[in-house]
Amino acid sequence: MKLLEVKDVTKNYPGTEILSHIELSLAPGESLAILGRSGSGKTTLLNLLAGLDTPDSGEIYFDQKPIHTLKESELAQLRGKHMGFVFQSYRLLEALTALENVCLPLELLEKDHAIQTASDLLAKLGLESKINQFPHRLSGGEQQRVAIARAIVHQPKLIIADEPTGNLDHRTGREVSDLLIESCKKFNIALLVATHDTELANKVEKRVELFDGVLKSV
Amino acid sequence: MTRFHSVAKWVSLRLIRKHRILAVLVIASLALGIAQRVGIGLMLDSIQNALVHQSKSFLLADIEIRSVDPISPEKLAELKTILPQNSKLQTSVECLSIAVSSSNYKSTLVSLKAVDQGFPFYGQLKLKSGQVYPNATAAISHLQRYPEAWIDPTLKITLGLKEGDIIYLGKIGFLVKGYIAAEPGEGIQGFSFGPRVYVGTSFLQASGLVSEGSRVSHLILIKLPESKNPLQIAQKIRTAWGLSEKSYQWRTPFANAAGGSDIQVTTHMEKAKQWIRLFGDVGQFFSVLSLLMLILSCLAVGTMLRGYSERILPEIGVTHLLGATRAQVAQTLVLILSYFIGLGTVLGLILGCSGFALIQWQFQAYLPTSWLGWWMAKPIVLGAIESLVFAFGFGSLPLILTMTWKPLELANGISDRRVSKRIIMALSGAIIVLIGSFFYIDTLNLKLAFGASVVLALAIGLCIGLAKVCTALSTRFSQQWSFEFQYGFNNLYRFRHHFVWAITSLSIGILCLSMVGIFKSSLLAELQQDRNQVFPDLFLVGIFDHQKDDLTHYFYQWTSKLQLSPVIKARMTHINARRVGNVTTNDEQKNYLLNREQNLSFREQTGEGEKLIAGDWMKGWYQVEASLEEWFAKKLDINLGDTLTFDVQGVTLKAKVTSFRTVKWTTFKPNFFILLSPNALKEAPKEWLGTVSGLSTEELPKIQAQLAEQFPSVTTIPVKESVDKIKRTLNLVFHAVEVLSYLAVISAIATLVSVVMLTLSFRQKDVHTLKILGFSYKAVQQAIAIEFAAIVTLSCVIGGGIGTSVSIWLLLSETNLELHIPIGTLWWVFIGFMSLALAMSFGVARYLYHSKPKL
């Protein structure tokens, strides 16, 4: 059974073909790295897979549901329930504390004991002393760990990570990538990661490379 | 340097263009502040200028001699010998009278002016009959031969009069010839009790309106040759007739017997000074208010520029990193500031002048006004200088602070919020207010300006403090609440450095609105008739002993009782051993109260609306006792046990002060500053003040008409009409203050909008993340709505709270008014602001959510 299936997807921007006839699949709990140079179309592909953009042609299925045909509200529900996101620039809400940021997905799903669950998770990730800090008080590594906590706290089926180590130094990047992969394995979450970082890419099960909009196995 | 100057120029222009909406807000906010300051300055100077330069038109002469009785032929002959050759004289009589229409018997109080041939010496009288403007000089001459009247156009509606109808004034019916289209000194006439009616002096005696002791003013108007100095001539007249220069009218039929005089000689220059003093108090109030509004709008500009400087920091910082010196960076910032303030000032001056023209056009019938001239330079230049001081001061503070940051901080847009810098900012702000107010202190009242500055500083300090506490508290308690509340309140805390000023500005606007609302409703409620307070229907002034019984009998027919209060004219000569006659202190009001003719009265017990607050009510067994009104006693520094000496029309009377009373003047019952023991004044020559209540609205016009005919010398004042006029005037003043308060609110809203603009990029990032995480539009909308609603609620609580507390304190400590909080109006203000905030929040949420997020 496939969690994510991409069939013959093409995406163009005026005058440029960004993605060409992409075929991709991911099983539950499986991890996949998408490599590629800047401008190769990695982020565009992730936008399509997250339902933030629509393909010009082709089909995308998540958990056997056709993402490309879903309405805006259905897509929002799908992301909230079954997906988690980790960004290069962390994207924590500056107005909320670390704990409140991690609580967000649970709040959205109206889960009980959200604060307890979130604070337990943050403690496991070594952020116990930082739970009431606002993001601007945290280091880059700490912010990314909070972002990972936010991505896994509701135990989604898939985590989409876009250059999760891009803004971090080598050592912190390694710690964060280990944490991300271990967490996914522990909770049986599929991971789709777009990265330049070959060290990170080597840690995941499968790797593909995007080159001029075409996907190749590595 | 030259090269960098051109770079700085285009960089600054580019930056303004990039953040143009913010630029528009900064300029608009500044322009509003300057516009109201210049507009009000122009209006006040226009009035003052008119009073000085058109004083001849307002007085209608170079010198006016005003008296209760006609000037005797001997005095007139003496006057003619004093006046230089080619001087011209006119006689005129002014009084209040009831006018009755012969066609429908409707009646109203009018301000009657009986004029002589050649009226007026100065100014322009325009009369209109049908579509024709007749020759006014010929028409006035005609009045001497025929019983005709020219009437104020408002009487067309009030009395239903038209040309050819008969209007009764006293015992004579006058033919309405037409309407007054314009009269000299029109602005001053706006303060008269009733609409104007012109008749000829030759018919006055027969009308019965003028008899010995009746409440009329006889005027002699003198036009001097151009070369003669009115002040010197007036002094000669005063010396010849034994009058003091500073005469406070001693108006009584017995004045001559008392050795005093009821004659006042006034030149147009002296009159102008009196009018300027009269307008001065109101003018000063508006001037202080407009200064406060200007400071507020410049504070708003400072807030916006602070945000603006943070927004453009990375761009400016890059030039710094690339090697531009601090001075060069400063040059760019100063250029930006100059563009903003230059444009704002020019726009503000244009708006201010246009607003002034509009107000002048609207109010020219009520206020003396001047048109274009060099007098306009002073308020425009002064307003512009004040505005530049405040705007440059408050605007440059954040920019100067920016200059103290390190290059990398600048480039990364990391702001430095050290406490020491905040203290420097606050102190600099205070210095700017002082420097800006210096111009004001120089031109107006030092004490008032200082007081206003202290109040403003306290209000701002309190608002900032409370706003900070509230925003901090909001985050503390939000953790137990839903996401929408958490996000809304935490955002409030996150952007607190911006929001504090938005909340402060909004609070002060709301503070002004709530104070105006409370004072307006308390004052108007005081003038409102209800079950607890019934005004008399008529006030009858100048009733003589021989008319008492006839009038009592007359009202008996209407099953109404005439309440009579004795009025005895006297002059206070001593307080204890201290002589007060012709006392001059710096307090003009005190001078007037000490030296004016006093109306004494007596009654067996306290009257309606009076309350004894100190001492005992008069027993009067072995000595003459006095009961004084509290404010009057305080103003003249009179204590219980003091002895007051009065000259009661030639008879010296000593009275010991044994009690103080508070008087509720708005009951419109006969009340007096000084009451003496009944026994002491029973035999004194007196006139009576009458009040009548319980007349129906149908009866009232008929009674007024009959009184005008049968007792023409008695002035009848319909109380309701007079109260309505006072209410209209009060409403006008309150509207002006309300407009200023709304300007403060607009400025506050501009600040709020600018804060939203400044935080938009952060919000955009947040909302995109929320959208990616699966949050619905509704959740985002609610979160932003909660944030905005919290701002309005905080502002209303702070502004409304302070405004209400200050109003209550002022009303209870400084006035005798009963507190009346217009809860309905305050609610509407709250609902209005809340709706505006919610509408804004929906707009922001919609804009943010519907832009496409990207990973």
What are the pLDDT digits (tens) for B627-663? Answer: 998 888 888 888 898 898 888 877 888 888 999 998 8
User: What pairs with residue B269 in β-bridges?
Assistant: none
Angle, CA of B212, B213 and B215, to the nearest 5°: 120
Cβ–Cβ < 8 Å for B159, B107: yes
In this complex, the residue of A46, A85, A97 whose CB is nearest that of residue B773 is A85
Q: Which two tokens stand for residue B797?
A: 């609580």
Cβ–Cβ < 8 Å for B539, B690: yes
Cis peptide before B120 (omega within 30 of 0): yes
All residues of chain B having their beta carbon less than 8 Å from the beta carbon of residue A95 are 487, 490-491, 493-494, 766
Instruction: Supply the pLDDT for residue A168.
Output: 85
User: What pairs with residue B132 in β-bridges?
Assistant: B129
Pairwise CA distance, residues A170 & A26, whole Å: 28
- Dihedrals φ, ψ of B593, to 5°? -65, -35
Q: B26 burial class (0-12, 13-18, 19+ CB within 10 angstroms)?
A: buried
Pairwise CA distance, residues B587 & B351, whole Å: 38
Residue bearing tokens 């005027």: B219
| Weakly modelled stretches of chain B, pLDDT under 50 | 1-3, 246-259, 408, 410-411, 413-414, 442-443
Contacts for B354 with CB less than 8 Å, ≥ 6 apart: none
Residue B502 DSSP code:
H
Residue A2 CB neighbour total at 10 angstroms: 16
Pairwise CA distance, residues B315 & B12, whole Å: 10
Q: List, edge to edge, every strand of the sheet that includes A83-86.
A: A83-86, A158-162, A190-195, A31-35, A206-211, A214-217
Find the residue in B nearest to A45 (Cα). B855
Helix residue ranges, H only, B54-135? 55-59, 73-82
Residue B24 DSSP code:
H
Domain A4-217 in CATH 3.40.50.300? The answer is yes
Cβ–Cβ < 8 Å for B122, B60: yes
Q: Which two tokens stand for residue B250?
A: 């001693």
Q: B280 burial class (0-12, 13-18, 19+ CB within 10 angstroms)?
A: middle
Q: B231 burial class (0-12, 13-18, 19+ CB within 10 angstroms)?
A: middle
Amino acid at B356: F
Find the residue in B nearest to A159 (Cα). B773
DSSP chain A: --SEEEEEEEEEETTEEEEEEEEEEE-TT-EEEEE--TTSSHHHHHHHHTTSS--SEEEEEETTEEGGG--HHHHHHHHHHHEEEE-TT----TTS-HHHHHHHHHHHTT-TTHHHHHHHHHHHTT-GGGTT--GGGS-HHHHHHHHHHHHHTT--SEEEEESTTTTS-HHHHHHHHHHHHHHHHHTT-EEEEEES-HHHHHHSSEEEEEETTEEEE-
How far is B761 from chain A, CA to nearest CA, in Å? 12
SS3 B831: helix
Task: Using only the alpha carbons of chain B, give its radius of gyration.
Answer: 33
Find the residue in A nearest to B483 (Cα). A107
Interface mutation vs chain B, best among A94, A160, A162, most B CBs within 10 Å: A94
Q: B369 vs B53, B186, B266, B705, B797, CA distance in Å?
A: 10, 10, 22, 37, 41
All residues of chain A having their beta carbon less than 8 Å from the beta carbon of residue B479 are 100, 115
Q: B689-719 burial, b if ≥16 CB within 10 A, otherwise e?
A: bbbbeebeeeebbbbbbbbbbebbbbbbbbb
Q: Are A79 and B855 a contacting pair at CB < 8 A?
A: no
The residue length of chain A stands at 218
Pairwise CA distance, residues B156 & B514, whole Å: 39
Pairwise CA distance, residues B96 & A134, whole Å: 76
Q: pLDDT in tens for each of the 218 residues of chain A? A: 789 999 999 999 887 888 999 999 999 999 999 998 888 888 889 989 988 888 999 999 999 999 988 887 788 888 889 999 998 888 887 777 899 889 888 877 888 888 899 999 999 888 999 998 888 889 999 999 999 999 999 999 999 999 898 888 888 889 889 999 999 999 999 999 998 888 889 999 999 999 888 988 87
Task: Using only the alpha carbons of chain A, give its radius of gyration.
Answer: 17
The residue length of chain B stands at 855
Pairwise CA distance, residues B794 & B469, whole Å: 10
Contacts for B592 with CB less than 8 Å, ≥ 6 apart: B248
Q: Are A77 and B774 a contacting pair at CB < 8 A?
A: yes
Pairwise CA distance, residues B41 & B289, whole Å: 11
Q: Where are the domains of chain B?
A: 53-273, 460-534+719-855, 562-692
How far is A108 from chain B, CA to nearest CA, in Å? 7
Q: B766 vs A142, B761, B779, CA distance in Å?
A: 19, 9, 13
How far is A146 from chain B, CA to nearest CA, in Å? 14
Pairwise CA distance, residues B477 & B800, whole Å: 24
SS3 B286: helix
Instruction: Supply the pLDDT for residue B389.
Output: 80
Task: Give the count of Cβ contacts less than 8 A between chain A and B.
Answer: 77
SS3 B828: helix
Pairwise CA distance, residues B701 & B720, whole Å: 12
Q: A87 burial class (0-12, 13-18, 19+ CB within 10 angstroms)?
A: buried
Residue bearing tokens 């959740």: B779
Torsional class of B694: left (φ above 0), alpha (ψ -120 to 50), beta (otherwise): left
Pairwise CA distance, residues B46 & B376, whole Å: 8
Instruction: Supply the pLDDT for residue B438.
Output: 62
Half-sphere exposure of B85 (CA within 13 A, CB side): 0
User: What pairs with residue B646 in β-bridges?
Assistant: B572, B653
Cβ–Cβ < 8 Å for B326, B4: no
Pairwise CA distance, residues A116 & B449, whole Å: 58
Q: Are B855 and A81 a contacting pair at CB < 8 A?
A: no
Instruction: Supply the pLDDT for residue A117.
Output: 92
Q: Which two tokens stand for residue A4?
A: 């994510």
Interface of A with B (CB under 8 A): 43, 46-47, 50, 52-53, 73, 76-81, 83, 85, 87, 91-97, 100, 103-105, 107-108, 115, 134, 150, 160, 162
Instruction: Supply the pLDDT for residue B175.
Output: 92
- Dihedrals φ, ψ of B748, to 5°? -65, -40
User: What pairs with residue B565 in β-bridges?
Assistant: B689
Interface mutation vs chain B, best among A104, A143, A158, most B CBs within 10 Å: A104
Dihedral sign for Cα atoms in the order A59, A64, A69, A71: negative
Pairwise CA distance, residues B767 & B770, whole Å: 5
ipTM: 0.71
Q: B587 burial class (0-12, 13-18, 19+ CB within 10 angstroms)?
A: exposed
Contacts for B365 with CB less than 8 Å, ≥ 6 apart: B186, B187, B190
Closest Cα partner for B671 from B691, B655, B652? B691
* A135-140: long-range contacts, CB 8 A cutoff, minimum separation 24: A135/A90, A135/A92, A135/A93, A135/A94, A135/A96, A135/A98, A135/A101, A136/A94, A138/A98, A139/A172, A140/A90, A140/A167, A140/A168, A140/A169, A140/A172
Pairwise CA distance, residues A153 & A84, whole Å: 9
